[in-house]
Amino acid sequence: MAPRKRIAIMTSGGDSPGMNGVVRACVRMAIHMGCDALCVYEGYEGLVRGGDYIRQMEWHDVRGWLSEGGTLIGTARCMAFFERAGRLKAAKNMVLNGIDALIICGGDGSLTGADRFREEWPSLLQELVATGELKPAQVEPYQHLNLVGLVGSIDNDLSGTDATIGCYSALSRVCEMVDYIEATATSHSRAFVIEVMGRHCGWLALMGGVATGADSIFIPEKPKRDDWREEMRALVEKHRKSGKRKTIVIIAEGAQDRHGHKITPEMVKDLLADKNGLALDTRITTLGHVQRGGTAVAYDRMLATLQGVEAVRAVLEATPETKTSFIAITENKIARKPLMEAVQETKSIAKAIEAQEFEKAMTMRDTEFYDQYTSYMMTSAVQDQTMLLPEKERMKIGFINVGAPAGGMNAAMRAGVAYCMSRGHEAVAIHNGFAGFSRHHGDTPLGAVRPFNWLEVDGWASKGGSEIGTNRELPSESGMETIANLIEFYQFDALFLIGGFEAFHAISQLREARAQYPSLCIPMTLLPATISNNVPGTEYSLGSDTCLNELVNYCDKIKQSASATRRRVFVIETQGGRSGYVATLAGLGVGATAIYTPEEGISLDMLASDVRHLKEVFANDKGQSRAGRLILVNEKASKVYKAKLIADIIREEAHDRFEARDSIPGHVQQGGVPSPMDRCRAVRLAIKCIQHLEQFGKNAHNKAKKDPNSATVIGIKGAGVVFTPMSELEEMDTDWPNRRAKAAFWLDMKETADILGGRPKHHPPE
Ligand code: ATP
């Protein structure tokens, strides 16, 4: 039999939230694949020192690690590794420990070091043999260094991937702080200049600006014009004149002007506070290390886990010919990409910035970055006259929310309205869904249909719920004829819907009724927003990230509450309608022992097998961990086996060896303040929606009638953002009785969650 492969995992460079999730995923996946898992403590320092710095890990050693911030195996900046002598020692320790493959999670520095190590590897081994440090037989099995990188960094500065592990957690801290500061800024009518991390990359400042609707941002990739002071003074003056009581400026550490001179928070403060100018009471807040702190958000836990699993697969599949790769994510797709090209491109961006080639730097960042920058500019300078369309091309666009509220709905409205204003379109709010639209007509014809007031809308970037009101009623229930007449009455040229499955159903009804009511032949598009993430045509809907964060926080707290009585299982009921997405992703993020979904259902066999597994787990737990176990069950996974009954069954079967409780977070899952990801994506997708509608132009009934793209859903699918015609989705992709898409793209994630939770394989109900 071939010896077991030994896979080592290491974290390096600056710590980032999610690194522990990486280590957990790699350790468990390696063990699951029949390999030994090792951890190298303290980054390259541990590899150079060897000995106790390299330790074999067992399955239970990484229990509870998903909920811990920083990196529990330590990280360091290691000078010795910059030198060949250090790398020689590291190579020797790799061989002595029988390490077949190395997975490194760190920033571009760590990955550069990794690639250098790989390149030199044969010569390092030769030297170790030549100097008698190792025998030829010892190095013989390790001729090729099998290495895979994972990008752990809060800056999101690596090319080739949309997100690095930890960046959304850092963004979350940034937005939390800005949200707090906004309250005090508004109270005192103050200005705040907030400095965030990012020496060569403005991602945190940019996304922070988009998510909070900041008045201005400074990023290294795109310095402002030379007259930025005059420009900013005029902008802030305009905002203040319109009645805004706060001014927020977000500045990246690496901000500079077009000539490479640093722009400091003090310089911005001096401008805002200038007694002869704006004379605002201005404060500077430097966020500093709080941005690294805390536990990882749901997205980072997902990224860490899926990428960790993919890294183990990659090292096991690698041959000596395989190019060294790192694991990336593009939109929603996890992929292996060549490591050195990404590192080189990252360095080229830094060089382009240094050489003041800013356009080049911007185009070298990923598509999302570029899109977000454009989105930010469109939403922050709404009265910028340069984008205005000629009068005859300006449209009247109705905005409507349908279904339950979801995080990001207001941010999407705000962005859509801002974009309309910059183009000269008339954005009109239809209040309280189709129910509001149809019922207010008559006595108060304009009651439910009102133009937006920008000063009000401008404050919606971070607001939860739905400011224009939402309702589940479908057009057929409100009266299709009434709706068609109202659309004609108001002379809408297009309709922008934001909502969940009801909104999807509504747009489908409107489309079908076109044959009967010509006024419905206007372009309409849906931006999916629902915590259930069950809308066909997309793998992501607004609000789902907020919901996952709420659930993950809730589960972390519940788990911790069990620390005094650690033999406890919590059965937590999640929302999600007939889609197991939320239960699965939250389960993945908290390391659930079992997840029950409507797609799989629940059988007695499953319960029996899971109870048996729990008994084993508790029997083998020698007190290594003090937290409880979690089971997540979707509210509609079974008509009979509800959270309470499952908890009762477990308790009964446990015979006092452990406890079981049920817990229902309920509407907490709809979330208070939307997550930064939901807010930022809301902005980007909403603008794309209006741009899509805009292509049809004013009065486009004839064109819209024939074009399947006149009724669409925007979605993130795999590696792209796409509009899919309703006609296609209704027929091919929709499981109407279960109100979800036919294919659940996340089923692989369920399998991963089961593997990493150590759940035994079972047979789902027939
Ligand atoms: P962060 O994004 O937080 O800065 P990073 O991984 O880029 O993370 P660095 O301090 O640049 O952090 O690198 C971490 C470690 O990687 C260094 O201390 C060093 O041990 C190793 N390393 C970096 N660059 C090289 C290199 N060119 N050659 C050899 N080793 C390197």
In tens, the pLDDT along 128-138 reads 999 999 999 99
Asked whether residue 497 carries a pLDDT value surpassing 80, the answer given is: yes
Name the residue with the closest Cα to ligand 1, atom 23.
Answer: 109
Which structure tokens are listed for 710? 């006149």
Residue 44 CA: nearest ligand 1 atom is 20
Q: What is the CA radius of gyration of the chain?
A: 27
User: 82: CA distance to ligand 1 center in Å?
Assistant: 8
Per-residue pLDDT at 382:
58
The pLDDT of 104-108, averaged and rounded, is 95
The pLDDT of 738-764, averaged and rounded, is 89
User: 111: CA distance to ligand 1 center in Å?
Assistant: 7
User: 344: CA distance to ligand 1 center in Å?
Assistant: 14
Name the residue with the closest Cα to ligand 1, atom 27.
Answer: 113
Name the residue with the closest Cα to ligand 1, atom 29.
Answer: 113
CB 153 less than 6 A from any atom of ligand 1: yes
CB 310 less than 6 A from any atom of ligand 1: no
CB 12 less than 6 A from any atom of ligand 1: yes
CB 80 less than 6 A from any atom of ligand 1: no
The pLDDT of 541-561, averaged and rounded, is 92
Asked whether residue 622 carries a pLDDT value surpassing 80, the answer given is: no
Phi, then psi, of 462 in degrees rounded to 5: -115, 15
Per-residue pLDDT at 765:
60
CB 81 less than 6 A from any atom of ligand 1: yes
User: 107: CA distance to ligand 1 center in Å?
Assistant: 7
pLDDT band at 567 (very low <50, low <70, confident <90, very high): confident
Name the residue with the closest Cα to ligand 1, atom 22.
Answer: 113
The pLDDT of 328-332, averaged and rounded, is 89
CB 117 less than 6 A from any atom of ligand 1: no
pLDDT band at 66 (very low <50, low <70, confident <90, very high): very high
Do 446 and 714 contact (CB within 8 A), yes or no?
Answer: no
User: 108: CA distance to ligand 1 center in Å?
Assistant: 7
Do 595 and 660 contact (CB within 8 A), yes or no?
Answer: no
Name the residue with the closest Cα to ligand 1, atom 24.
Answer: 109
688 against 559, higher pLDDT? 688
Residue 76 CA: nearest ligand 1 atom is 18
Report how far residue 741's alpha carbon sits from residue 340's, in angstroms, rounded to the nearest whole number: 38
Output the DSSP codes for 593-620. SEEE-TTT---HHHHHHHHHHHHHHHHH
In tens, the pLDDT along 349-405 reads 989 988 999 888 888 888 888 889 998 988 887 566 788 999 999 999 999 999 999
CB 164 less than 6 A from any atom of ligand 1: no
User: 110: CA distance to ligand 1 center in Å?
Assistant: 4
The pLDDT of 495-504, averaged and rounded, is 98
Q: How far is CA 174 from CA 291, 338, 525, in A?
A: 6, 31, 32
Per-residue pLDDT at 626:
57
Residues 6+ apart with CB under 8 A from 607: 641, 646, 649
Q: Name the residue with tokens 């730097």.
A: 361
Asked whether residue 444 carries a pLDDT value surpassing 60, the answer given is: no
- Say whether 155 is catalytic: yes
Name the residue with the closest Cα to ligand 1, atom 16.
Answer: 110
What are the strands, taking DSSP E only, across 386-439? 396-402, 426-430
pLDDT band at 627 (very low <50, low <70, confident <90, very high): low
Name the residue with the closest Cα to ligand 1, atom 18.
Answer: 77
Phi, then psi, of 405 in degrees rounded to 5: -65, 150
Per-residue pLDDT at 409:
97
CB 113 less than 6 A from any atom of ligand 1: yes
The pLDDT of 213-238, averaged and rounded, is 92
Pocket test for ligand 1, best of 11, 45, 81 (most atoms within 8 A of CB): 81
Residue 45 CA: nearest ligand 1 atom is 20
User: 584: CA distance to ligand 1 center in Å?
Assistant: 35
In tens, the pLDDT along 252-272 reads 999 999 999 999 999 999 999
Name the residue with the closest Cα to ligand 1, atom 3.
Answer: 14
Per-residue pLDDT at 153:
93
Residue 153 CA: nearest ligand 1 atom is 2
Per-residue pLDDT at 764:
59
Among residues 15, 108, 115, 155, the one annotated as catalytic is: 155
Do 327 and 22 contact (CB within 8 A), yes or no?
Answer: no
383 against 82, higher pLDDT? 82
pLDDT band at 3 (very low <50, low <70, confident <90, very high): confident
The pLDDT of 194-221, averaged and rounded, is 94
CB 149 less than 6 A from any atom of ligand 1: no
User: CA torsion 718→65→622→57, rounded to 10°?
Assistant: 80
User: 369: CA distance to ligand 1 center in Å?
Assistant: 24
Residue 111 CA: nearest ligand 1 atom is 6
Do 569 and 614 contact (CB within 8 A), yes or no?
Answer: yes
Report how far residue 169's alpha carbon sits from residue 302's, in angstroms, rounded to the nearest whole number: 12
Residue 107 CA: nearest ligand 1 atom is 6
Name the residue with the closest Cα to ligand 1, atom 14.
Answer: 13
In tens, the pLDDT along 283-329 reads 999 999 888 878 999 999 999 999 999 999 999 999 988 889 999 99
Report how far residue 408's alpha carbon sits from residue 110's, in angstroms, rounded to the nearest whole number: 35
Asked whether residue 220 carries a pLDDT value surpassing 80, the answer given is: yes
- The closest of 491, 635, 643, 659 to 576, measured between CA atoms, is 635
CB 44 less than 6 A from any atom of ligand 1: yes
Name the residue with the closest Cα to ligand 1, atom 2.
Answer: 107
The count of other CB atoms within 10 Å of the CB of residue 258 is 13
CB 78 less than 6 A from any atom of ligand 1: yes
723 against 240, higher pLDDT? 723
User: 442: CA distance to ligand 1 center in Å?
Assistant: 68
Percent of all residues in the chain with a pLDDT value above 70, rounded to a whole number: 96
CB 112 less than 6 A from any atom of ligand 1: yes
Pocket test for ligand 1, best of 10, 11, 12 (most atoms within 8 A of CB): 12
Residue 16 CA: nearest ligand 1 atom is 3
Per-residue pLDDT at 455:
85
In tens, the pLDDT along 136-175 reads 999 999 999 999 999 999 999 999 999 999 999 999 999 9
User: 106: CA distance to ligand 1 center in Å?
Assistant: 8
**What is the chain's mean pLDDT, rounded?**
93
Name the residue with the closest Cα to ligand 1, atom 25.
Answer: 113
pLDDT band at 184 (very low <50, low <70, confident <90, very high): confident
In tens, the pLDDT along 585-616 reads 999 999 999 999 999 999 999 999 999 999 98
Q: Are strands 720-725 and 711-717 parallel, antiparallel or unpaired?
A: antiparallel
Report how far residue 591's alpha carbon sits from residue 407's, in angstroms, rounded to the nearest whole number: 24
The count of other CB atoms within 10 Å of the CB of residue 234 is 11
User: 704: CA distance to ligand 1 center in Å?
Assistant: 55
Name the residue with the closest Cα to ligand 1, atom 20.
Answer: 78
- The closest of 537, 614, 592, 582 to 746, measured between CA atoms, is 582
- DSSP label of 383: T
Pocket test for ligand 1, best of 42, 79, 110 (most atoms within 8 A of CB): 110
User: 11: CA distance to ligand 1 center in Å?
Assistant: 11
Asked whether residue 563 carries a pLDDT value surpassing 80, the answer given is: no
User: 240: CA distance to ligand 1 center in Å?
Assistant: 45
Do 7 and 37 contact (CB within 8 A), yes or no?
Answer: yes
CB 116 less than 6 A from any atom of ligand 1: yes
The pLDDT of 79-84, averaged and rounded, is 97
Q: What is the ipTM, given to two decimal places?
A: 0.96
CB 82 less than 6 A from any atom of ligand 1: yes
Residues 6+ apart with CB under 8 A from 396: 425, 426, 428, 490, 491, 492, 493, 494
CB 106 less than 6 A from any atom of ligand 1: yes
Report how far residue 547's alpha carbon sits from residue 586's, in angstroms, rounded to the nearest whole number: 9
542 phi-psi bin (left φ>0, alpha ψ -120 to 50, beta other): beta
